[in-house]
Structure 1
Amino acid sequence: MYPTLPTPVPIPVHVPLVRQPMGILQSLNAARQNVLSIIPQIATTQPMVSGKTGKRWHMVMDPDAIRRILLDRLEDYPKSLVTKNLLRPAIGESLFVAEGAHWRWQRRAAAPVFSHRNVTNLGPVMTASAERAAERVAQSGNRAIDMADEMVRATFDVIGDVTFSDSGGFDRAAVHRAIDAYIDAAGRVSLFDIFGLPDWIPRPARLMSGGILKEMKSIADASIEARRRDGHAGTPDLLDLLLQGEDPETHRKMNTSELRDNLLTFIVAGHETTALTLGWALYLVAFDPQVQDRARAEARTVLGSRAARAEDVAQLPFIRMIIDEALRLYPPAGLISRTALKPDRLGGRDIRPGDTVILPIYALHRSRLYWDDPDAFRPDRFADRKAIARYTYLPFGDGPRVCIGASFALHEAVIILATLLARFRFTPVPGRDPKPVMIITLRPQGGVWLQAEPV
């Protein structure tokens, strides 16, 4: 008798990584369709890959080298021109884009805004949004639902309420439309950026989005000035906390344009990345019914039929593991890049000033060097987070520039996912698997279409 071969373990959708070198025009075309498609397959089996596509580049997956870039020599590896050219027109010199002293004082002023106490105080907003999302899902009946779109709505509700809780002078729908329109018009990698041409050379796609940006910024400016003038009663929201924020070293406060740029940064990052994490998490639990059943049992034990609250998050460890694993398999920022300012050596290779240094988080999170069965969906790998080697798991970055809103995002994701899993059983719609595509963030192209059955 022939031996029985083991049944292959189903693998969730993933990006096919490139196996042959690409020229500059081929790379540009691929990047405009899906940035992750330019990552070579060997990036999942090697600690470092180097090449030249218009300019020298290095993809770094070695944890010690990543630590050097993000911590030890942070100032020598600023965000790349490509990143700044993409985002500066929308969010100015905010925390996400600023460098050096200008970044440091803003970070010091904003850090208390995202303290554990403030995140917990904003928990009722997350609970209310989770409740509304569950009600909308219940109203869908037997129809398939695009849960990716639903999660965008839920997380934008949260960021809108915690940013401008009185909302009277803030047109949320207009800002949401403006953000989406800008990303659509300006988010695709420009050939000028690939060649590293300076900012003052116009990028055609971004020129078309100028009016959109002007409208979005004017809406935010008017809301900030109204809050300065009229104040606001009740629990302090994000705008209140930023208005009160002060650099403890210099006692500097943000002016209106600095507040606006950081608020827009928090609005974009505060709903987009969490919505993506939730969309992918729901796809994954529908993909693996056993994981979903276990998560539902945990959620129902803790919650019963009510919506999750901030104080429940610590009692939902398996739900949190699912979130962590979704962030590993589909990190919202699947690839980040830096520009080397000084000579260095990384992974035994010479780095020259001007080289592009790329951290392909998507490949790092699926590296055969650091993860068992890296393409498989296994939430239990996060049962002991101390066992995860530092600088091999970077959904929020690391070092001094680690995402300032990470705790906020994780609380929100656990609250919403637990509420939904306690009330519904999600199953995939045949033939409608999402396609992972990254332009600025790693989105499920085509949506996450699921059936939701009340339990």
Structure 2
Amino acid sequence: MSDKTPVKVSLVTEPLGILGSLNAARRNVLSIIPEIATRQPMVSGRTGKRWHMVMDPGALREMLLERLDIYPKSLVTKNLLKPAIGDSLFIAEGAHWRWQRRTAAPVFSHRNVINLAPIMTAAAERSAERIAAAGDRAVDVAEDMVRTTFDVIAEVTFSGDGMFDSDAVHRGIDNYIAEAGKISLLDVLGAPDWVPRPGRLLFSRGAVSEMKTVADQAIEARRQRGPDGVPDLLDLLLEGEDPETKRQMNTAELRDNLLTFIVAGHETTALTLGWSLYLSAIDQEVQKRARAEVHRVCGDRPVTGDDVANLPFVRQIIDEALRLYPPAGMVSRTAMADDTLCGREIRKGDTVIVPIYALHRHHMLWEDPDAFRPDRFADRKSVERYAYLPFGDGPRICIGASFAIQEAVIILGTLLSRFQFTPVAGRDPDPVMILTLRPEGGVWLEAKPLGPFRPASAA
């Protein structure tokens, strides 16, 4: 195993206060997590308003499963995302969320997801070609993974529809996250939703408005044209209806949910792959095991959707990357009623935070929690369910989790079978979370192409 500890976030050891918390959160949201949160079941405090960080699996089960209606997504989360993705599945609550979830769930059935696997395989092959073309130069694999996963989500969402300007959508998403998605002092202080956030308003009228217009036009064009070939996500959503009410999504609802799938379907998977490649590069033994597994299953042919179930160690690398660097490293809820968690009083209006980054590195839940050990997931039943939440859990578990895992295994398996990756000295990525946990500075690796696979019996 590697003698190098993977990069990590420096957590807080002393109280920061309101302005200190604001400044820290603007640089890196995870830097406001107290270090003691990796050792205690629950930590509470006040920064403008009362807050609680919960790391106890039993309490998390209560929040995410048993008392979901008491703990909806916080106003901060809704303020950050609503200008870009509207009242879609990710933000909606109550009956409005339930009917959308019932309508969209069949879209991500195993049959539909496996039907989209050839698009993932093709994108993985193109990524391998780009990396090979770099020759002896180091490659920022994090940047290439963003390109690769966006290619996938654009194709599976709109089937390469000529009416869909994927560059405009990508530009709108990136601009919004970079410029308008940062936490403001008004959010930290718990200001009401109706108080304007000028930066967010500016960008919701600019790149985001363009992005929504592009998506609306593509949806209306598809309504007129109808499906062509293997149904993509837009075809499936256009056909979908709530089995209870028979309600179908209108254009605005389709657009907001498609934009949600695009954001979640490429950004989070790209991050997982970037971190997986970084971790594999600092542990050559892990990389060799994964490569041998892919060669044993696939030989020289491309990795396909049918291979995913037969590549458990590649999946374990992805699971461990999601543990160490969860894309949504922190989520927050607003208590809608008085409650008790871990024997501690929760008051209506309190902010209740799930610091997934701290949960996944908790010393009471994980042995040597900061180490990279994919074998933790060799027996998934041994992992306590609410100690590991890369996709959330309960009724609001990520609807596209199986899609993301299939895509990640296909792409990671392809790249590890084609190249030997090694780190570039002095260019370690810096884990920074604004909206998602990104490797700031990129993941710069040297990629040595490997010759064709030859089974030992053929040597």
1:404 maps to which of 399, 406, 415: 399
1:157-172 aligned within 5 A = 157-172=151-166
Q: Distance in 1 between matches of 2:31 and 2:46?
A: 16
| CA contact 2:2–2:283 (8 Å) conserved in 1 | no
Identify the residue that residue 177 of structure 1 maps to in structure 2: 171
- Pair 1:269-2:264 in alignment: yes
Post-superposition offset of 1:9? 4.3
What is aligned with 1:148?
A: 142
Q: Which residue number corresponds to residue 416 of structure 1?
A: 411
Q: Given the alignment of the two structures, is residue 280 of structure 1 paired with residue 251 of structure 2, yes or no? A: no
What SS does the aligned partner of 1:296 have? helix
Residue 404 of structure 2 aligns with an amino acid whose one-letter code is A
Q: How far apart in 2 are the matches of 1:60 and 1:257?
A: 35
Of 134-143 and 298-307, deviating more is 298-307
How far off its partner does 1:199 sit?
2.2
Cα shift at 1:8 = 10
The change in CA–CA distance for 1:193 and 1:225 in structure 2 (over 3 A counts) is same
Q: Measure, in 1, the Cα distance between the counterparts of 2:301 and 2:35.
A: 45
Q: 1:253 — aligned with what? A: 248
Counterpart check, 1:218 vs 2:226 = no
The whole-number CA distance in structure 2 between the counterparts of 1:294 and 1:71 is 37
- Provide the C-alpha distance between the structure 1 equivalents of 2:367 and 2:162, rounded to a whole number of angstroms: 51
Partner of 1:381: 376
Partners in 2 of 1:205 and 1:304 — Cα distance? 52
Structure 1: state its 5+ residue gaps: 1-6
Structure 1 stretch displaced more, 182-191 or 270-279:
182-191
What's 2:60 paired with? 66
CA contact (8 A) 1:328 1:393 kept: yes
Give the share of equivalent positions with the same residue, in percent.
Answer: 71
Of 228, 232, 243, the residue aligned with 1:233 is: 228
Aligned pair count reads 449
Equivalent residue, structure 2, for 1:114:
108
Are 1:79 and 2:73 matched, yes or no? yes
* Structure 2 gaps, min length 5: 451-459
Determine the C-alpha separation between the residues in 2 that align with 1:292 and 1:186: 38
**Post-superposition shift, 1:166?**
3.8
**Take 1:121 and 1:258, find their aligned partners in 2: how far apart are those partners?**
25
Distance 1:235 1:21 in 2: 55
Structure 1 residues 20-35: aligned runs within 5 Å:
20-35=14-29
Q: Match for residue 4 of structure 1? A: none
Query: Are 1:440 and 2:444 counterparts?
Result: no
Q: Which residue of 2 aligns with 1:428?
A: 423
SS for the counterpart of 1:357 is: strand
Distance 2:142 2:100 in 1: 32
Structure 2 counterpart of 1:324, from 310, 319, 324: 319
| Paired amino acid for 1:61 | M
Runs of 4 or more off by more than 4 Å in structure 1? none
Distance in 1 of aligned mates of 2:129 and 2:148 = 11
**Which position in structure 2 is the counterpart of 1:243?**
238
Q: 1:32 to 1:124 in 2, by over 3 A?
A: same
Q: What's the offset of the Cα at 1:418?
A: 0.3
- Which secondary structure does the structure 2 equivalent of 1:52 belong to? strand
Distance 1:331 1:416 in 2: 18
Matched, 1:205 2:199: yes
TM-score, normalization: structure 2? 0.97
Equivalent position of 2:457 in the other structure: none
Helix, strand or coil for the counterpart of 2:387? coil
| Alignment partners' CA distance in 1, 2:15 and 2:206 | 39
| Structure 1 residue 90: Cα displacement | 0.4
SS of the aligned residue for 1:58 comes to strand
Task: Check the 8 A contact 1:436/1:445 in 2, yes or no.
Answer: yes
The residue aligned with 1:362 is: 357
Q: Which residue number in structure 2 is paired with residue 3 of structure 1?
A: none
Secondary structure of residue in 1 paired with 2:422: strand
Q: Cα distance, 1:304 vs. partner? A: 1.8
Q: CA deviation at 1:202?
A: 1.4
Q: Distance in 1 between matches of 2:217 and 2:198?
A: 29
Contact 1:304 1:422 in 2 (8 A): no
Would you say the 8 A contact 1:27–1:38 is kept in 2? yes
Asked if 2 retains the 8 angstrom alpha-carbon contact of 1:47 and 1:60, the reply is yes
Give the conservation status (yes or no) of the 8 Å contact 1:305–1:423.
no
Question: Is the CA contact (8 Å cut-off) linking 2:320 and 2:374 kept in structure 1?
Answer: yes
Contact kept, 8 Å, 1:306 with 1:419, in 2: the verdict is: no
Distance 2:286 2:140 in 1: 21
User: 2:94 is matched with which residue?
Assistant: 100
- Return the alpha-carbon distance in structure 2 between the equivalents of residues 8 and 231 of structure 1: 52
Which residue number corresponds to residue 123 of structure 1? 117
